[in-house]
Amino acid sequence: MAFASLRSLMARPPLVSQLPEGPYYGILAEFATPADLYHACEHVRDEGFTRWDAHTPFPVHGIEKAMGIRRSPLPWIVLVAGLTGAAFGFGLQWWVHASAYPLVISGKPYFSWPAFIPITFELGILFAAFGAVLGMLALNRLPMHHHPLFQSKVFERVTDDAFFISIESWDPRFDQSATRKLLESLGARSVELLES
Amino acid sequence: MAQTEAELLDNPVEGNPTLILRSPDFHAITEVVAETVERPTPIGWWFFFIPSVALLGLLGVAVSWLFWEGIGVWGLNIPVGWAWDITNFVFWVGIGHAGTLISAILFLFRQKWRTSINRSAEAMTIFAVMCAMLFPGIHVGRVWVIYWVFPVPNQMGVWPNFRSPLLWDVFAVSVYGTVSILFWYVGLIPDLATMRDRAKTRARQAVYGFFALGWRGSVRSWNHYESAYLVLAALATPLVLSVHSVVSMDFAVSLLPGWHTTIFPPYFVAGAIFSGFAMVVTLMVICRTAFRLEHIITLRHFDYMAKIMLVTGSMVGYAYATEFFTSWYSGNPYEFFTFMNRALGPYAWAYWIMITCNVISPQIFWFKKARTNIPYLFFASIVVNIGMWFERFVIIVTSLHRDFLPSAWGYFRPTIWDISCLLGSFGLFFTMFCLFVRFLPMVATSEVKTVLPQADPHGQAGAQHERRDRRALPGRGPEPAPGSAY
């Protein structure tokens, strides 16, 4: 499981905010409620689409299963970052007190490791937190201030109360009219073709 | 109005406690929260902002005079070498702890009521940590070499002493401040995107848009985002417990009677959460009244916060009793003298203010009437914070002012500059908080929306909101978690 998610991480395209060339970006369909979106996602998933996404104003419970998305590999990034931070913190203190600047303080040995634990812990947490935030942004390809979806006027409501499915035109199963019909049959309130 | 709210509190709809009243739709939540930032500055805001900035100016004067003249402008002197500076530091860093408790620990415990208050509580944490970091920074005397506390390679080949609790404190508090800002910012990203998409002017769109990082609410993004949020909560939980533990070790690792006790770490953490919740109550009473958020920050929220104050206040009271018992049971005359001197000596007035405010005053929260009475809550929250400031004063000053030799005894009195620094730190705190409520959405709308009944794609309310009659495919999707509406 863990290795699978790491492999999927490595198999992903490079971390550049670049989209393939094409006349259209894809199709954007709006749905009325989280429940509508959930069922539509299940259908789109079962149709075998791969280059598509759903957009919601808040995390809808369980929808990643309806979309067939795997768990985020982020915790592994955080683990590595945290261990790096802790090792760095411990190593720094060891090096300073046993090698670079050895001073006898309160008669303690130079390498008095129990006294190094608080700072080791703090630096582990610090690195792990940066790993979580920067790792999340990298996995999400953020920041990306320009995106074809922002052309759509209705898409402005994605951060308010609207629910969307977007299917990208370079999906192998994408067909301009058939995909539009599929989304309409799933109960989309509006369907819109977006230019690239 | 208050009547209806109290009724709803006791009559939750269909067995699920109503967290958000007046059953708003998603758009209504966005509207009421974004409106607080988008409308023209209300007059009332200036009534808070101008005095806060004036106090901030006082802080500027007091700190400048301190730098110019030296630490002697304060009232501290041997034997009382630490006084209001460290009292203020411990007080402010303690205030911050409730914000992290609400945002991280209650998140891990799936306490969904936190969504209404977590944003402003986290902001409070950041501003409190800013105030806290000020005091150790300015109390060192030669402030221009304060960077020596960090392990910066230098031409002298000198390194800080990593075995000292004072250095642990530097790391604990600065890591705590940094992680709190990261956590807060991650939580803000979806709401900054909301502000971007609602922006009426190009400038607002550009500024909010820049910080929203191009967030598109994508489920693939939410997947990583929720993972990051959960991980940050799991990191912040041990961190917040470590911070006040490390602060307490500044005292506990010394050999001074009154400081050298093993009870300090848990006792300090309980006190920190106690005072922090009191500050959250103070701020939330003002915010919900000023911005008409009574249906989002409800009496239920205050009821829960009062219960936490009752628990932590009683824990603090228990710790006071344990300290006393231990000093007697230890048979150490110096230890016992210190505690008898606290309760009956020259600073007895401070000790009994502490006991009255911290141990006696929260006991009224055993009664629901008190827990849901806004004016009383507001009053009690201020009383508790006065008490918690005095707790730190009592611990620090009474332990120092009677040295081992009576010839070295002293009595600390604050000067005008001690008082200015304390008042000024409130100026810094409230200035930052005023700016926060003016420019950023003070309720996490993307989180509040998830606790509305219609947000659940499988729930009954979700089905009611469906426009078409369509059945969920059998065997698809997870069951709603038990108690998920709470």
Answer yes or no: is B408 within a domain. Answer: yes
B461 domain residue, yes or no: no
Query: Based on the number of CB atoms within 10 Å of its own CB, is B135 exposed (0-12), middle (13-18) or buried (19 or more)?
Result: buried
Q: Give Cα separations from A43 to A68, A109, A179 (angstroms).
A: 11, 66, 12
- Model pTM? 0.89
DSSP track, B139-196: TTS-GGGGGGGS----TT-----TTSHHHHHHHHHHHHHHHHHHHHHHHHHHHHHHHH
B171 close contact with A: CB closer than 8 A = yes
Residue with tokens 């395209």: A13
Q: Quick check: is B12 in a domain?
A: no
Q: What is the pLDDT of residues B303-320, one digit of tens each?
A: 999 999 999 999 999 999
Q: Could you report the per-residue pLDDT of A102-157, keeping only the tens digit for each?
A: 999 888 899 999 999 999 999 999 999 999 999 999 999 999 999 999 989 999 99
Per-residue confidence (pLDDT) for residue B468, from 0 to 100: 34
Per-residue pLDDT band at B5 (split at 50, 70, 90): low
Average pLDDT over residues A66-85: 95
Nearest chain B alpha carbon to A143: B213
- Tell me what the pLDDT averaged over chain B comes to: 89
The better pLDDT of the pair A174, B480 is held by A174
Q: How confident is the model at residue B455 (pLDDT cuts 50, 70, 90)?
A: confident
Range of lowest pLDDT (A137-151, B181-195, B471-485) = B471-485
Q: Say yes or no to pLDDT of B69 above 70.
A: yes
Q: Determine how many CB atoms are found less than 10 A away from the CB of residue A132.
A: 30
Using a CB–CB cutoff of 8 Å, tell me whether B108 touches chain A. Answer: no
pLDDT of residue A7: 52
Residue B6, pLDDT above cutoff 60 = no
Secondary structure of chain A in HEC code, one letter for each residue: CHHHHHHHHHHCCCCCCCCCCCCEEEEEEEECCHHHHHHHHHHHHHCCCCCEEEECCCCCCCHHHHHCCCCCCHHHHHHHHHHHHHHHHHHHHHHHHHHHCCCCCCCCCCCCHHHHHHHHHHHHHHHHHHHHHHHHHHHCCCCCCCCHHHHCCHHHHHHCCCEEEEEECCCCCCCHHHHHHHHHHCCCCEEEEEEC
Half-sphere exposure of B473 (CA within 13 A, CB side): 12
Contacts (Cβ under 8 Å, ≥6 apart) of B30? A57, A159, A160, A161, B194, B198, B445
pLDDT at B460 over 60: no
Distance CA(B205)–CA(B202), nearest Å, equals 5
Q: pLDDT-based confidence at A22, cuts 50/70/90?
A: low
pLDDT on residue B4: 52
Residue B362 lies in a domain: yes
pLDDT above 80 (res B72): yes
Contact of B110 with chain A, judged by CB distance below 8 Å, is answered with no
Evaluate whether residue B476 is within a structural domain.
no
Mean pLDDT of A160-177: 91
Which pLDDT does position A1 carry in this prediction?
44
The CATH number of residue B61's host domain is 1.20.1630.10
pLDDT of residue B9: 52
With a cut of 90, say whether residue A183 has pLDDT above it.
yes
Closest partner CB to B209 (pick from A33, A61, A145): A145
Whole-number Å distance between alpha carbons of A160 and B449: 10
B369 CB burial (10 A radius; 0-12, 13-18, 19+): exposed
pLDDT at A13 over 80: no
Of B113, B189, B180, which Cα lies nearest the Cα of B448? B113
% of chain A residues with pLDDT over 90: 70
Q: Which domains does chain A have, with CATH numbers?
A: 22-57+161-195 (3.30.70), 74-139 (no CATH)
DSSP-assigned letter for residue B218: B
Our count of domains for chain B comes to 1
How much is the pLDDT for B17? 59
Q: What is the pLDDT of residues B207-220, one digit of tens each?
A: 999 999 999 999 99
Task: Please judge whether A34 and B197 are an interchain contact, meaning their C-beta atoms are less than 8 angstroms apart.
Answer: no
Nearest-neighbour CA in chain A from B352: distance (Å):
35
pLDDT of B471 over the 80 cut: no
Query: Would B468 be classed as within a structural domain?
Result: no
pLDDT at res. A20: 58
What is the distance in angstroms between the Cα of A125 and the nearest Cα belonging to chain B? 6
**Does residue B11 have a pLDDT over 70?**
no
B27·A161 Cβ contact <8 A: yes
Q: Residue B167 sits in which domain range?
A: 23-145+159-452
Q: Is residue B213 part of a domain?
A: yes
Contact A101 B158 (CB under 8 A): yes
Give the C-alpha separation, B86 to B420, whole Å: 15
| Rounded Cα gap, residues A108 and B440, in angstroms | 50
B244 interfaces chain A, CB cutoff of 8 Å: no
For residue B416, pLDDT beyond 50: yes
Partner-chain contact A59 B228, CB within 8 Å: no
C-beta of residue B354 within 8 angstroms of C-beta of residue B398? no
Q: What is residue B472's predicted lDDT score, i.e. its pLDDT?
A: 38
CA dihedral B42, B45, B51, B57 (to 10 degrees): -100
- Residue A5 pLDDT: 53
Question: Looking at the domain assignment, is residue B102 inside a domain?
Answer: yes
Prediction ipTM score: 0.90
User: For B477, which of A56, A65, A133 is closest by C-beta distance?
Assistant: A65
